[in-house]
C-alpha cells in the first residue's frame, strides 16, 4: 500500500516540469515550473513542459495561449509575468504593450524576434536571455527599469529610437553582430560595462541623460558615437576600441573619462579615435589618462583645458612600415655596392641608416586628407523612421551602411576605393548628394588639408601643456603649429604653393632653428657662415690695414704670393695663411670689431661684410632665443 502510494507520487512528480522559474545565483533558487510534461525526448534531455521545450516544431498555439494566460494573470494580480527559461520559437510582439513587469530571465529566442514599438510598462528583465537570431527593439519604450545584463545577441540587435525611461542595464551583454542604438534616448543612467560588441556598434544620435557607463567595454569593430549627447558623465575607462571610433560632433556636458582606454594602435594610416567637432562644456572634466592617441583626430575640438596625463602622442616617424621599407632598401644596396671605395660607400650608407631620426610629436590630423571639411550629414533620424515601417533589422543595417559611405568621404585616402564608393553613393542618394561628393573628390580638395584648423588645435595643446608646466611637450606643439603655418598657403596653383611652403619667412625660420626649438642648428649655421665668408672675402680681396711704419696692400685669390713677398713679417703665410687672415676678418665682422688688421675691400668686400653682419646677428639672435626657450621656464 505504502509502496503504491509513493510510486504514484513519484510518477506524478515526473509528470510535471522541473525547470526552475527563477534563479538568482546558488542561494536563491526558484520554484519548479510544475507544468505538465511535453514529450520531445530528441530535443530535451530532461523532460520539460511545452514552454521550456527546445522542440522547434512545438505547437505555437498552445505556447501562445499559456503565454497570454501568464500575462493576463500578472496584469490582474499586479505581479510579475514570469517567463523564466522559456524557449520562444515565434516571437512577434510588434507594437505590443506589456503592462506588468516581465521577466524574460534566461529566455531563449530561437528565431527572429520582433519587439518593434513594443511598450514595457513594468520592469523588463532580459537578464541572461539569448537571442539566437536578429532582434529588433526599434522604437520600443521601456517605462521602467530595463535589464539586458549578460544577454547574448547572436545576430543583429537593433534598439534604434528606443526610449529607456529608467535605468538601462546592458552590462556584460554580448553582441555578436551589429548593435544599433541609433537615436536611442536613455532618460536615466545606462550601463554597458564590460559589454562586448563583436561587430560595429552604432550609437549615432543617441542621448544619455545621466551616466553612460562603458567601462571595460570591448568594441572589436568600428564604434560610432557620432552626434551622441552625453548629458551626464561618460565613462570609457579600460574600454577597448580596436577600430575606428567616432565621437564626431558629439556633445559632452558632464565629465568624460578615458582612463587606460585603448584606441586603435596599429601603425596604419587609418584613424582610430575621431574626436573632431566635439563640443565640450566642461573641458576640465574631460580626462585622457594613459591612452595612446597616436591615431586620434582632434581638429575643431577645443583641447586647451582637456586633461592629458601620460598620454602617448604620435611622433613624426610613426608609420613604421615606411621606416622598415627604407631599411630594407638600404640593406639591399649595401650588398649591391661595387667598384672603388666600396667600404667608404658602405660606411656612408650605414651611417645614414643609424642616424637618429628627429623626434617630434605631432597630431594624426596632419596625415588625414580632407580634414576639416564640414561634416556631411544625412538625415539619419528620417532614415531610422523610414525603417520602422518595414520591420527588418537588415534593411536598417543597409541604410546605415549607406550613411557610412557618406561619412567615409571625409577620411579615406584611397582613390580607387573612393571612386567605387562614389558610384554606389550616386545610385542610392541621387544627384544632390553625389554632387557634393564629387566636390570632395576633386584633387584640390583631396590634397589641400585645412592646415589652419590643425594649427589651431596645436595652439590649444600648446596652451594646455604650458599651463601644466610641461614645456618640453609644449615645445613640440609649438613646432607643429609653426609647421602648419608654413604649409598653409593661400595659393592654389601648385608650383606657387610649393614655393610658398618652402621659401617663406616661416620656412626660413624652420631651417634656421626648427622654429626656435633647437639651438644647435643656428650654431651650426653660424659656424658654416663664418667659414664660408672666410673663403668669400679673398674674392673681392681684403686690404691690409698696416700698423704704423708699414705700407698698405691688397690680398686676394688673384695675387696672394706677391703680398707675402712684400710683407714677410705677416705670419702665417701662403694660401692657408690668407684664408686664416680672412677667417679672422670674418669672425671680427661678426663680432662687431672695428679696428681690423685686414679689412674687406671697398665696395664689394664691404657689401659682403654687411651681408655677413646681418646673417650672423640674426643667427646669433635665434641661437639666444632658442637657449632662452630651453632654459627660461625651468
Ligand atoms: Zn516548464
Which pLDDT tens digit goes with each residue over 79-93? 889 899 999 998 889
Distance 39 CA to ligand 1 centre (A): 12
Residues 4-34 have pLDDT tens digits of 455 544 554 467 888 878 755 444 557 788 8
Q: How far apart are CA 494 and CA 471, in angstroms?
A: 36
Distance 52 CA to ligand 1 centre (A): 5
The band of 324, judged by pLDDT with boundaries at 50, 70 and 90, is low
Distance 69 CA to ligand 1 centre (A): 14
In this structure, of 359-363, 427-431, 487-491, the range with the lowest mean pLDDT score is: 427-431
442 assigned to some structural domain: yes
Q: How far apart are CA 493 and CA 615, in angstroms?
A: 32
The band of 557, judged by pLDDT with boundaries at 50, 70 and 90, is confident
| Contact call for residues 512 and 525 (beta carbons, < 8 A) | yes
pLDDT at 390: 40
Environment of ion ligand 1 (residues, CB < 5 A): 17, 19, 33, 35, 49, 51-52
71 alpha carbon, distance to own chain's centre: 48
The residue with cell 570609457 is 236
Give residue 553's domain range.
520-631
399 alpha carbon, distance to own chain's centre: 25
Q: Is the pLDDT of residue 384 over 70?
A: no
Q: Do 571 and 617 fall within a single domain?
A: yes
Inter-CA distances, 529 with 66, 513, 588, 591, 604, Å: 96, 15, 13, 13, 17
Q: Is the pLDDT of residue 47 over 80?
A: yes
Q: How far apart are CA 393 and CA 241, in angstroms?
A: 24
Q: Do 539 and 627 fall within a single domain?
A: yes
The residue with cell 639672435 is 621
Q: Is the pLDDT of residue 143 over 80?
A: yes
Residues 276-323 have pLDDT tens digits of 889 999 999 999 999 999 889 898 899 999 999 999 888 776 554 456
580 assigned to some structural domain: yes
Average pLDDT in the 343-347 region? 80
| Average pLDDT taken over every residue of the chain | 81
Distance 33 CA to ligand 1 centre (A): 5
Distance 17 CA to ligand 1 centre (A): 5
Angle made by CA atoms 487, 490, 492, in degrees to the nearest 5? 95
82 assigned to some structural domain: no
Per-residue cell: 455: 594649427
Per-residue cell: 108: 531563449
pLDDT at 267: 65
Average pLDDT in the 36-44 region? 87
Average pLDDT in the 259-282 region? 86
Whether the upstream peptide bond of residue 572 has omega within 30° of 0, thus cis, is: yes
| Domain end position, chosen among 513, 548, 566 | 513
Q: How far apart are CA 439 and CA 452, in angstroms?
A: 21
280 assigned to some structural domain: no
Q: Do 396 and 422 fall within a single domain?
A: yes
Q: How far apart are CA 438 and CA 26, in angstroms?
A: 62
Distance 104 CA to ligand 1 centre (A): 14
pLDDT at 98: 94
Q: Do 611 and 562 fall within a single domain?
A: yes
| Domain end position, chosen among 397, 422, 447 | 447
491 alpha carbon, distance to own chain's centre: 30
Q: How far apart are CA 312 and CA 305, in angstroms?
A: 17
Q: Is the pLDDT of residue 266 over 60?
A: yes
Distance 49 CA to ligand 1 centre (A): 4
Give the percent of the chain with pLDDT over 90: 42
pLDDT at 395: 44
Q: How far apart are CA 52 and CA 19, in angstroms?
A: 7
Q: Do 442 and 493 fall within a single domain?
A: no
Q: Do 441 and 455 fall within a single domain?
A: no
Q: How far apart are CA 106 and CA 151, in angstroms?
A: 8
| Contact call for residues 612 and 596 (beta carbons, < 8 A) | no
Distance 86 CA to ligand 1 centre (A): 7
Which of 125-134, 315-324, 434-443 is modeled with the greatest confidence? 125-134
Distance 48 CA to ligand 1 centre (A): 5
Residues 564-617 have pLDDT tens digits of 888 887 778 888 989 999 999 999 999 988 888 888 888 899 999 999 999 999
Q: Do 399 and 497 fall within a single domain?
A: no
Q: How far apart are CA 142 and CA 209, in angstroms?
A: 15
Number of domains in the chain: 5
Average pLDDT in the 548-569 region? 81
Average pLDDT in the 236-243 region? 94
The band of 360, judged by pLDDT with boundaries at 50, 70 and 90, is confident
Q: Do 524 and 559 fall within a single domain?
A: yes
| Contact call for residues 421 and 393 (beta carbons, < 8 A) | no
Distance 611 CA to ligand 1 centre (A): 99
| Contact call for residues 287 and 255 (beta carbons, < 8 A) | yes
Which of 182-191, 381-390, 419-428, 553-562 is modeled with the greatest confidence? 182-191
237 assigned to some structural domain: no
In this structure, of 387-401, 483-497, 536-550, 606-620, the range with the lowest mean pLDDT score is: 387-401
| Domain end position, chosen among 447, 473, 495 | 447
169 assigned to some structural domain: no
Distance 50 CA to ligand 1 centre (A): 7
168 assigned to some structural domain: no
Q: How far apart are CA 344 and CA 351, in angstroms?
A: 11
Distance 349 CA to ligand 1 centre (A): 79
Of the candidates 180, 181, 189, the residue with the CA atom closest to the CA atom of residue 208 = 189
Distance 59 CA to ligand 1 centre (A): 15
In this structure, of 157-171, 280-294, 459-473, 539-553, the range with the lowest mean pLDDT score is: 539-553
Average pLDDT in the 346-350 region? 76
pLDDT at 417: 52
Q: Do 455 and 440 fall within a single domain?
A: no
Q: Do 411 and 472 fall within a single domain?
A: no
Distance 594 CA to ligand 1 centre (A): 109
Give the percent of the chain with pLDDT over 70: 79
62 assigned to some structural domain: no
173 vs 277: which has the higher pLDDT: 173
Per-residue cell: 68: 497570454
Biggest CA–CA distance in the chain, Å, is 152
Average pLDDT in the 455-459 region? 93
Q: Do 545 and 531 fall within a single domain?
A: yes
Q: Is the pLDDT of residue 77 over 50?
A: yes
Average pLDDT in the 524-543 region? 92
Q: Is the pLDDT of residue 432 over 70?
A: no
Distance 34 CA to ligand 1 centre (A): 6
How many residues are given for the chain?
Answer: 634
Amino acid at each position: 500500500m505504502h509502496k503504491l502510494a509513493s510510486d504514484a507520487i513519484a510518477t506524478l512528480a515526473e509528470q510535471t516540469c522541473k525547470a526552475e522559474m527563477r534563479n538568482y545565483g546558488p542561494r536563491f533558487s526558484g520554484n519548479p515550473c510544475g507544468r505538465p510534461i511535453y514529450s520531445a525526448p530528441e530535443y530535451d534531455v530532461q523532460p520539460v513542459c511545452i514552454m521550456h521545450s527546445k522542440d522547434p516544431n512545438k505547437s505555437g498555439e498552445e505556447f501562445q495561449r499559456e503565454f497570454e494566460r501568464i500575462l493576463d494573470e500578472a496584469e490582474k494580480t499586479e505581479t510579475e509575468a514570469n517567463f523564466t527559461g522559456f524557449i520562444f520559437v515565434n516571437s512577434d510582439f510588434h507594437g505590443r504593450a506589456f503592462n506588468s513587469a516581465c521577466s524574460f530571465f534566461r529566455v531563449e529566442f530561437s528565431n527572429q524576434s520582433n519587439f518593434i514599438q513594443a511598450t514595457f510598462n513594468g520592469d523588463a528583465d532580459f537578464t541572461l536571455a539569448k537571442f539566437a537570431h536578429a532582434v529588433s527593439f526599434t522604437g520600443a519604450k521601456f517605462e521602467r527599469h530595463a535589464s539586458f545584463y549578460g544577454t547574448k545577441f547572436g545576430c543583429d540587435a537593433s534598439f534604434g529610437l528606443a526610449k529607456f525611461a529608467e535605468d538601462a542595464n546592458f552590462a556584460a551583454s554580448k553582441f555578436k553582430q551589429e548593435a544599433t542604438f541609433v537615436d536611442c534616448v536613455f532618460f536615466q543612467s545606462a550601463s554597458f560595462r564590460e559589454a562586448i560588441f563583436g561587430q560595429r556598434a552604432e550609437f549615432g544620435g543617441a542621448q544619455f541623460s545621466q551616466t553612460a557607463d562603458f567601462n571595460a567595454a570591448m568594441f572589436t569593430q568600428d564604434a560610432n558615437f557620432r552626434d551622441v549627447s552625453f548629458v551626464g558623465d561618460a565613462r570609457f575607462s579600460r574600454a577597448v576600441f580596436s577600430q575606428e571610433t567616432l565621437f564626431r560632433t558629439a556633445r559632452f556636458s558632464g565629465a568624460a573619462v578615458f582612463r587606460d582606454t585603448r584606441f586603435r594602435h596599429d601603425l596604419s594610416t587609418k584613424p582610430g579615435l575621431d574626436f573632431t567637432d566635439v563640443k565640450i562644456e566642461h573641458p576640465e572634466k574631460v580626462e585622457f589618462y594613459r591612452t595612446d592617441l597616436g591615431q586620434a583626430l582632434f581638429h575643431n575640438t577645443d583641447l586647451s583645458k582637456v586633461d592629458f596625463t601620460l598620454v602617448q602622442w604620435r611622433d613624426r616617424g610613426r608609420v613604421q612600415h615606411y621606416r622598415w621599407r627604407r631599411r630594407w632598401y638600404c640593406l639591399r644596396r649595401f650588398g649591391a655596392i661595387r667598384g672603388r671605395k666600396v667600404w667608404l660607400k658602405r660606411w656612408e650608407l650605414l651611417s645614414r641608416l643609424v642616424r637618429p631620426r628627429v623626434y617630434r610629436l605631432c597630431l594624426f590630423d596632419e596625415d588625414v586628407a580632407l580634414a576639416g571639411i564640414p561634416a556631411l550629414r544625412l538625415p539619419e533620424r528620417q532614415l531610422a523612421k523610414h525603417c520602422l515601417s518595414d520591420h527588418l533589422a537588415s534593411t536598417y543595417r543597409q541604410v546605415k551602411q549607406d550613411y557610412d559611405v557618406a561619412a567615409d568621404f571625409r577620411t579615406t585616402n584611397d582613390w580607387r576605393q573612393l571612386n567605387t564608393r562614389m558610384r554606389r553613393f550616386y545610385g542610392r542618394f541621387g544627384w544632390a548628394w553625389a554632387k557634393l561628393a564629387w566636390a570632395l573628390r576633386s584633387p584640390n580638395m583631396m590634397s589641400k588639408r585645412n592646415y589652419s584648423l590643425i594649427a589651431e588645435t596645436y595652439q590649444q595643446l600648446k596652451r594646455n601643456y604650458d599651463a601644466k608646466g610641461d614645456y618640453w611637450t609644449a615645445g613640440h606643439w609649438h613646432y607643429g603649429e609653426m609647421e602648419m603655418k608654413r604649409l598653409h598657403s593661400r595659393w592654389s596653383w601648385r608650383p606657387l604653393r610649393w614655393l610658398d611652403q618652402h621659401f617663406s619667412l616661416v620656412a626660413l625660420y624652420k631651417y634656421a632653428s626648427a622654429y626656435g626649438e633647437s639651438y644647435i642648428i643656428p650654431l651650426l649655421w653660424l659656424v658654416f657662415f663664418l667659414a664660408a665668408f672666410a673663403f668669400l672675402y679673398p674674392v673681392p680681396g681684403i686690404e691690409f690695414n698696416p700698423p704704423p711704419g708699414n705700407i698698405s696692400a691688397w690680398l686676394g685669390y688673384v695675387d696672394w704670393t706677391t703680398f707675402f713677398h712684400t710683407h714677410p713679417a705677416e705670419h702665417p703665410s701662403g694660401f692657408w695663411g690668407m684664408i686664416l687672415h680672412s677667417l679672422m676678418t670674418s669672425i671680427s665682422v661678426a663680432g662687431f670689431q672695428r679696428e681690423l688688421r685686414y679689412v674687406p675691400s671697398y665696395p664689394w668686400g664691404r657689401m659682403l661684410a654687411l651681408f655677413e653682419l646681418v646673417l650672423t646677428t640674426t643667427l646669433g639672435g635665434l641661437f639666444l632665443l632658442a637657449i632662452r626657450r630651453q632654459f627660461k621656464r625651468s
